[in-house]
Each structure stands twice: as structure tokens, then as C-alpha cells.
Amino acid sequence: MSPAQPPRLAEALAALAARECRAAERALADTKRRHRGVHEARKAIRRLKSLLLLGRKPFADTLPAIERALAQLAGGLSPLRDARVAADVARSLVGPSPSLAWRGAIETLEHRCEGHLVEALHKDPRFLKRRRMLRELGVAIAGLPWRRLGRARIEKELARSEKRVHKACKRATKDPTSINLHTWRRRVRRLRMQREAWRGVAKAIGIPPYRHARRDKAETRALSKLSDTLGARQDLKALNAVLGKLGDPATVSPLRVQVREALKAL
């Protein structure tokens, strides 16, 4: 069994996890900006999962069940977010003066987006089930053995995440399939979030950072840029796939060519 860690470190880690749970719940309670709320909830869930994985070993007895619940929450919100992204990416791609074909496609994408939201809220009014689930997860997460998660374990998990990023990078470079590129992006994003979480906790309780502060920030910025690029690529590929299912192929085909050109530019 790992030795107990200083209370301040354990309290700071547990407090950060609790904040992410509350952030996700608040986002889903945002009735004025539903799509933004879904987006912010998914981000909070990802940050929470990244933080919890730093305690992969000391949390081994309980973490798998929590991970499954978080995956269920995030997965259930994915169709809503993906539909919103498709419409937003299309608008961004064509700019303020879209062609007649693009205007029709964007209108269809918007209707599709709102349809997903209406369906989700019909099944889970006001997202009350999801919000209750987050509150229950918050209780389970607060009960994790945070005192067993110390600096040495955190830095070991950060090193493990770095190795996983390098491995995914090699695989995606050698064989750039959608699956390999998506895995690479997820691992890059997770490492970035873990570094940001650890740097914030270390600063809050006044202990030295994982690495030299300037170098760590530069590397985190590079990870963020890489994650954004991979994310933009994934969003364009998703838009291309969705367009292939919309309307007359003769009308949609030129739009897909434009999307593929944007992909090549990345």
C-alpha cells in the first residue's frame, strides 16, 4: 500500500475533482445555451477523467466503475456535440457568403442539430438524470483514497502518458487511419489536461512543478496546438461523412470536394 501523502496535496486534488463534477453539472443545467452547456460538460468530464487517471493504481478498486459512468455520460452527449460541430465547422469553412448549395446544407445541418437536442431532452428532461448521475459520481469520487496519490505516483503517470502519446504518434505517422489519428489526439489531449491539472494543484499548495515551469508551459502549449490541429482534422472528416448522407449526391459532391481540400491544407 502506498504511504499516505500530505493532507494539503490530497485536499487540493480532491477539491479539483469536485470542481470538475460541479462544472459538468452546472453546464448541463444551462437552459439558455444548451449546446454550449453540452460542450462545457463534455470538457469538464474529460478533465475529470484525465485527473482521476493520475490515480490509476491507488484508485484501482473503484476507478473502473467511475470510468464507465463517465464514459456513459460523455458518450450520451456525443451525438449532440457532433451535430453542433458539423454545423459550426460548415459555417466556418464557407465564411459569411455561402453558396446556395452550402446554405441549404447548413440549414439541414442546423435542423439535424436541433433535432438531436429535442430528442435528448425528451428522453431526459432538463438533463435531470445526467445531473443526478454527476452528483452521485461526485460522492464516489470524494470517497477515493486521495491520501495515497502523491507526487511520485503523479509524475510516474505523467511519464506513462507521455510514452503513450509517443507510441500513438508513431502509429499514426506510419498508418494515418481515422482510428489511429483519433487515438493520437485523445492521448495528446489527456496528457495536456493532466499536466495542466498537476501544474495548477502544485501552484495552489506551493510545491515545485513537475518540470521547469517555462519548459512545461511551452510543451503544454505545443500539445494544445497539436490537439487543436488533430481535432480540426477530425471535425472536417466528420463533416465530410455527414454531408455524404445529406440530399442529392450531385448537389453535395462539390461541397465534399471543398471539405477534402480543407483537409489537405491541414
Per the confidence metrics, is the pTM higher than 0.85?
yes
Quick one: residue 247, left, alpha or beta (phi over 0 = left, psi -120 to 50 = alpha)? Answer: left
Map out the domains of the chain with their CATH numbers: 7-265 (1.40.20.10)
The whole-angstrom separation of Cα 201 and Cα 213 is 13
Quick check: 1 and 121 in contact, CB under 8 A? Answer: no
- Tell me the pLDDT tens digit for each residue of 206-259: 887 655 555 667 777 888 888 889 999 999 999 999 999 887 888 899 999 999
Helix or strand (DSSP H, E) at 205: helix 178-205
Question: What is each CA distance from 102 to 83, 94, 250, 254, in whole angstroms?
Answer: 16, 8, 13, 10
pLDDT tens sequence across 7-28: 789 999 999 999 999 999 999 9
Write the DSSP symbol of residue 244.
T
Which segments of the chain are extended strands (E)? none
